[in-house]
Structure 1
């Protein structure tokens, strides 16, 4: 130890003479460590080796329980016979009596109970054993198996609804489209290194009997589809034909075909349908009866249809593999409007945990600094000791990289623990330096050398005690070691490097801080730091793309208007409780000569209330007003969706316009260069050069004007979303299409029309309330009095004898002229509400019909434009350039041709924008999602 101290002091005395080199070296190491951290990858929590396997086993969709049992028994037999590590296999199929874990019949869980790892012979690790078992199970036809740990699989299912480590959820409306994108994503995932046990959620595969009626033949036989459906339903599903009584028991009598006559498709085709003439016709003559695969299941999340594509991660970290997958999906799959994908499972948990760490780590750092400030009473020395934190982070990151461990939440917790322990070394050194300075030592170099000499062993002990304490965790291979190893690795590596650097860097910094000198690191380092800060600020302020559906969802969550409408709904719902407000209860008391010359007293209470019908009608009225408030909130929601869709599509339109103007700017720039050359060599006059410059300036003016308009639209978009994050619309402008035709049934679904319809009901409810107020009012009361004196029975009564009486009264509306006038006014209000409803319905039908004609007209215009005009735009530019270069045409003719081509494409964008606005308006009028 003495030799170590001597060697350290010799080295330190030399290092103090080169402070610039020391600080540059440390700064370089810190930058390298930060770069290394970006390549480590990340995962939520390392997978715990639980000792057993849970195999998610699936057969073909629609298989019965016999097929599932047969396939799982074959799989279990293979695992038992080919792998001596397997102790037993337990299979669970379907749902239990308490359906906490529901599964279809084609899915099952095989719990593979393994022997102790010391007895293994087929493999050394769980990943190797799972790969060999998976290859062995390929011998069972039609079966897919995914190997996971039991608890891990259950947690994945609880958190994300799927059992795989990473879950890609594709959202959209059409099931067939979702299935296509799921298949494409599955093919991409299968080519990603480290992705195993691919699972694509089956949507189709359930056999269904499909009866397609021939309406012309049915009409020819004078039949009705409703009657045919009823006959088919009665024959195969059964219908009630009456009741049977057995004592007090009652049963329905159900009529249907015998089981032998409804086994196969031929029985359905040969079902006889009676006609009005008395003849009977087989169903096969009236309809096409066939078996087709239909939807197996429809999954929804956040009121949207979705499909799941999941996979397990082997040999790589979650963050890296999902990052690679996102890049491939963004480059190879273009989702149409309304379709998007999210990445969940362990990746989603990792992002959520990172957000929490972004709060926990700064809070811990601030608390550490506050404690340092209280300990030394100096911000300068607090910052000096604080330098141990980045020094310790260097070692933690490098040791994670050396051991091949990705960043995880366990490692993040290790960094928090590391920062707390790392500052202890700095506290030990700085406290000793301050003591020596206080004792009268003035030479800073001598203070540093003497202080480190006295405190070298305590510093080494502080570091080695913590490091050796975590060493068993870093080398552990027992249960839970996967979570312990990253934490211990960060602490050990960080303390080792931090202790080494602190012993050399902290003395140098102490001398610099105490001298108060301005230490220059040269010109390049400040530039580098400034560049890093600019990048950080730029990334923080960078705009993020967002789809239309995501933008609408974000606005619905953040919009103050939507929140106000929700509060208004709550307000109206609370008012329902006010329907039975009663008048104040009257309490009376009297004293004096009430009954005789003696003084008596009397007290009583009475309560009046309206006829019960009044309260019932008032409650019905308030319920209707609450329903109308809900409808009003829906109207505001659809108005917001329409506004966002308009702004979204307008921005895409302006961006396409910008691309078109940029293209023309490039053409005119090239021509301006050629015009300048031609003018210099004397091949053209000043007119051609001036015209080219004017045209180029005009294009620049249009471009600047368009950019200002785009910034205004983006500002509107930001205000509508009401978020701190700056989003911009994602994608390119596309022709929108109507999902289905609009008829009178769709018209009735319009929320504004529903609002006026509810206004009709409210007006009728008001009339009922006013009429009910003509009913009598009721009064009940109770009185208690004394009657001092001789009564009718010649007995004397004192004040202690009390006499009671009850009161029951009824208030008759004799002067009800004013109330009857209110009833008449309410009836007039009913007529007004009916008239408003009819007027709104007529206007809505007119608007929808007009929009439908505009849509058809727009589709035809775009079709004709694409067919005859648009395809010639590029040809005009190419031909004009060649002819101008060859001298066949002059500049004026060339400019006219170029302008003609640009106008063609600009007009095409205008047609698409008009069509899209019509579709958005139609969706709004029919209350459909944008």
Structure 2
């Protein structure tokens, strides 16, 4: 960087037009108004630093209003008077040094030139050299300028800009990859929060943002006006307010597609996009006009059945509607895909029109006939009780379609509501697991295996993954997709009777078809692995939630037992304190422990409710569920380990679902690379042509050729990109393989640790807890220990049992995690 030099990039033509329109060559111009140049320059630099840190800020330039070097000469009037010099004489000497003074005249023939003498350029910039100028005193002697004046080099004003008799400073900002409006709004917010303006100083914003605001103000009344004109024209066309509203419904349907297309291409809402919406609204109603006009024609011809009218009208007007939208969309498609200069204005407009026409056409063909049915005929929808009742009779024939629709809906919902809604006979529906009735709500009881099975059948994530497999299976049928066959007919000369027709068929090279078919198979396998991953994750979540419900229920039961015991101890303590058998400290300690147990019981109840809700969410159950097991148990660790795992060797990773998905992704990338490589090969085609002449005869020809890709560099780039993608997936697979292997070893070690703890608890600690209670009771009855010591021993036994439950819970959690990893 060059000290003191600021760089600001712009395009000359764009800069000229922007300066003529907005007074600035930048996208955003921030004007700072005030009185003092130094203060303006300081505020401008602070504002520039704030704006520069905002995302989307491009080139930024703060107007240079100070910093121009200048030589300042300050006279000492007392010394000038002492030497007999006046100001005018000194000014003439300085002017002669800088501007020059006539020292004589030079003659060349009839021409004459004044001879001017002044200081050399390097001395004019040196304050010391200027101070060496001599001034002539009245007595004929000379004195240096530095003896009668102070000469310094100082920074002075570089430029002074004014507007409305107020000094101003300009901060020019070009906006990068961000829309103008949100950037300017964030600039205003940041400057208002962080920039401290003295009294009398204020900011204004100009540039392209000013044009945007003025255009938005115009659009606020232009868009409603256009929509009003469209509606008026529709009303004048159909002469019916109802039908005009029906056709006008294409406007919001088109707006949906326009907004979605902008979002899909990552384009902000701009003025050109707003203009595109205005054009789109006018084009979108054409499809509705075509359909509604034909419906009215059929109605005028005597077709009174509204369903027949809709079926016949949409059948005959499907092609005109699609072609009307298709011609407009194809006309705007080059603008939407353009990358030439000026395309930044065309792309948003065309994108809005193309996207809006797609949704408007599709939704108009579906929604307009449905809404037209409601508008032409009042339909009475029967109640649900009449639909499901076996003895109910249909009151009107026109309700048949609605009854069938409701029954079909109930049939599709039957698997989810079965076991939850009572049947007409009063007995609940039966499904896997047992069902009980609680306050007219069916509560189903599940074992762990039944809960997992229900979750795998009902969870939408499993259904979505299953649909993904089905989608890839259907896509595999498109692997051998041949291009369309070209048929043409030509008639050149009427007199000679020349007729020519031809058939042309192109295709990709056979190896590419084989590779695409193999790629489709690998994609199916990848989706199957993803389905297995989803099923494994759901199984893990359901098992974990099931175990936590068991733990919470068992802990709550223990807390309830303790609450009953300590309630009796608390009452006994109060009685013994009243009789003088125990001290006040012992009675207070017993009461405090009872209150603590009560709080723990409430906390365990809350834990059970939360874990119950988590289980229902993991199972994706429609109603409340209950678990069949009553106690949490621990299986042997050896039952869940393979022989290699049991021996402490390398774990078997073949069953890990995450690793299977990563492996299939890597293998699919390899096949994609092979398919891209085959696309470099030439593609064959054949053409058959038949030509007939009335006077000469006829002849035919058959051509067989190859289409060879010329842009080898681009094809090699695609091939190299596919190779890199496959290598990236392979490295990800290696990383995940290492992580999974480490996780398995870690979980296995933790399981062994928890198993040893469980053995210790079962063999020692639980027995010790029972012995502590029995021994404390005997010692207390014998009078060897006091009441407070008896309560403390009982509390110690309780802590051992709670710790055992905690270890049991962690062991089962790790066991479920190991099942998922293996």
Q: TM-score, normalised by structure 2?
A: 0.45
Structure with higher RCO (Cα < 8 A, 6+ apart): 1
For the pair shown, the structure with the greater C-alpha radius of gyration is: 2
